[in-house]
Chain A
Amino acid sequence: MAQLALPRQATGATATAPWIWLLNAVSLVGVMASLYLALWWTPKEAVEGDVFRIFYIHVPIAWNMYVAFFVVFAASILYLWRREPIWDRVARVSAEIGLLFTTLVLITGSIWGKPVWGVYWTWDARLTTTLVLWFMYLAYLLLRSYSSEGGQAPRYAAVLGIVAFVDVPIVQYSVTWWRTLHPQSDILAPGHLTGSMLLGMFVSLVSFTLLGLALFVQRYRVESMRDEARTLRQRLEEAEG
């Protein structure tokens, strides 16, 4: 029987693997459970009232933001070191997810700020450094979008991915280093949250981390397929040309 000289990469499967379905299902159930805990099960906070419930989503998405940018940082170092395209792809995908979470952190934080501080936005150290972070990763993604494929773009992006991460510890410690309106970051430290509130926050943190992972996996698949389509197009052009 004759065989066709189809490129090896072209035979890659695009079907969703069972473990991806499982991850999606577990993260969905976890997020539903955390919503129930945050909105109904946990008691109303004594000072802020129901507005405090925003923290059950604000803190986990801020955590996901840090994780996503750490992945960009680590993958950028690995790319510069090993020059393997997989690390460039991981950094690209993680930067996009990090930017999504940063946007949501800024919006949910502003909504919480209005009833508590009286304003949606103030040039507080935490808010300002987070906004700077948002602009840096927006610049990273714009660099990726507007530069031609291949060439030096992944290298420049990797350098930017490493430099931009410098802002992450500044964001985290801004509430300690400067006098700010923003609450301290040690919300999970002993004595801050107790009982059901602590449990609600913990479940939210775990389920939103799984959701972030599920988003990363899905987005990575899209990016892998895009790269594969690019390779196949090139081979087709070569075959025609």
Chain B
Amino acid sequence: MGYLVAAYLILWLGIFGYLFWMGGALRGLRAELGELRAALVARAPEVPEEQEPVAAPPVTPPPVELRGR
């Protein structure tokens, strides 16, 4: 029975130890990525806002002078 307990214990210690290590790495990386993104946002040059093209004025025919016959 002792061998059985030892085998199951070591298995779960191994798997949970690995999960614990991964959880720590994930938390650390999340924090690092957050800092890096913030630093990049702070340093990134601002892209000027694209201006909407101004609509050309409607082409209207020149006024025709009405002359009396």
Cβ B46 vs Cβ A2 within 8 A = yes
Cβ of B26 to closest chain A Cβ, rounded Å: 6
Instruction: Name the one of A50, A104, A115, A235 contacting B11, with C-beta atoms under 8 angstroms.
Output: A104
Instruction: Name the one of B10, B36, B46 contacting A236, with C-beta atoms under 8 angstroms.
Output: B36
What is the CA–CA distance of A114 and B7 in the complex, to the nearest angstrom?
11
Q: Which residues of A contact B46 (CB under 8 A)?
A: 2-5
Cβ B3 vs Cβ A114 within 8 A = yes
Interface size on B, residues (CB 8 A): 31
What is the CA–CA distance of A6 and B11 in the complex, to the nearest angstrom?
44
Cβ A232 vs Cβ B40 within 8 A = yes
Q: Which residues of B contact A103 (CB under 8 A)?
A: 14
Q: A2-B49, A6-B37, A236-B39 are in contact. Are A222 and B19 (CB under 8 A)?
A: no
Cβ B14 vs Cβ A215 within 8 A = no
Q: A111-B10, A226-B29 are in contact. Are A6 and B4 (CB under 8 A)?
A: no
Interface SS of chain A: helix, strand, loop or mixed? helix
Cβ A111 vs Cβ B7 within 8 A = yes
Cβ of A224 to closest chain B Cβ, rounded Å: 9
B residues near A, CB below 8 A?
Answer: 1, 3-4, 6-8, 10-11, 14-15, 18-19, 22, 25-26, 29-30, 32-33, 36-37, 39-41, 43-49
A residues near B, CB below 8 A?
Answer: 1-7, 10-11, 14, 35, 39, 50-51, 53-54, 57-58, 61, 100, 103-104, 107-108, 111-112, 114-115, 211, 215, 218-219, 221-222, 225-226, 228-229, 232-233, 235-236, 239-240
